[in-house]
Amino acid sequence: MERYDDTQIIHMLEDAKTRKKAFEEIVKQYSEPLYWKIRRIVLVHEDANDILQNVFIKIWNNIADFRSESKLSTWLFRVAINESIDFVRRNKNQRSNLLGSDDDSLVCKLMADEYFDGDETEALLQEAVSKLPEVQRAVFTMRYYDDMKYSEMSKILKTSEGALKASYHIAANKIADFFRSQD
């Protein structure tokens, strides 16, 4: 099966006749990387699935407005990260199904989640990440799991590289403090 690169997809997006095909390529190629970006921020599969659907609806609705001033992947990641941050903000007080239906800790809930395959230390890391403010959470996960460059992150989040570096270091310190408090 033919695989189109971003330049070809952008070219196809410009023509209304090939726009749907271009969108199909975007869904095929970017569902997985977008999903993992979202999942590491929201932690729960069901939430990540809902957000991913919303992300593609937004992309479809605004696809005709896409200008190739930024990279296709940067635009897609920006939509996904912003949706995830909005979700975390909205659910801060009324936490999602898994995160706060009763008094159990997030670690216990993750360990019982059929879609979590980590050990207790990894569950503790997720709990520490969940305690970070939304943007720090996004910065930390992008840097820690994807090893994303600050320059790329800067384009996605429209924030200076210096601010992002500071944000990551603050997040890492908070996580280290969290682990020390567990000892």
Sequence-distant (≥ 6) Cβ neighbours of residue 155 within 8 angstroms: 70, 71, 74, 78
In this complex, which beta carbon is closest to another protein, that of residue 82 or of residue 178?
178
In this complex, which beta carbon is closest to another protein, that of residue 161 or of residue 178?
178
The least distance separating another protein from the CB of residue 8, rounded to whole angstroms, comes to 18
**CA separation (Å) from 108 to 87, 155, 167, 176?**
22, 36, 28, 20
The least distance separating another protein from the CB of residue 180, rounded to whole angstroms, comes to 8
In this complex, which beta carbon is closest to another protein, that of residue 45 or of residue 95?
45
Residue type, position 167, single letter:
S
The least distance separating another protein from the CB of residue 169, rounded to whole angstroms, comes to 8
Burial of 93 (0-12, 13-18, 19+ CB in 10 A): exposed
State how far the Cα of 116 lies from the Cα of 123, in Å rounded to an integer: 9
In this complex, which beta carbon is closest to another protein, that of residue 2 or of residue 103?
2
The least distance separating another protein from the CB of residue 17, rounded to whole angstroms, comes to 11
- Length in residues, the chain: 183
State how far the Cα of 134 lies from the Cα of 138, in Å rounded to an integer: 6
Task: Give contact residues for another protein (rule: CB under 8 A).
Answer: 19-20, 23-24, 27-28, 31-32, 35-36, 39-40, 43, 45, 49, 52-53, 56-57, 60-61, 63-64, 114-119, 121-123, 125-126, 144-145, 147, 169, 172-173, 175-176, 179-180
The least distance separating another protein from the CB of residue 34, rounded to whole angstroms, comes to 10
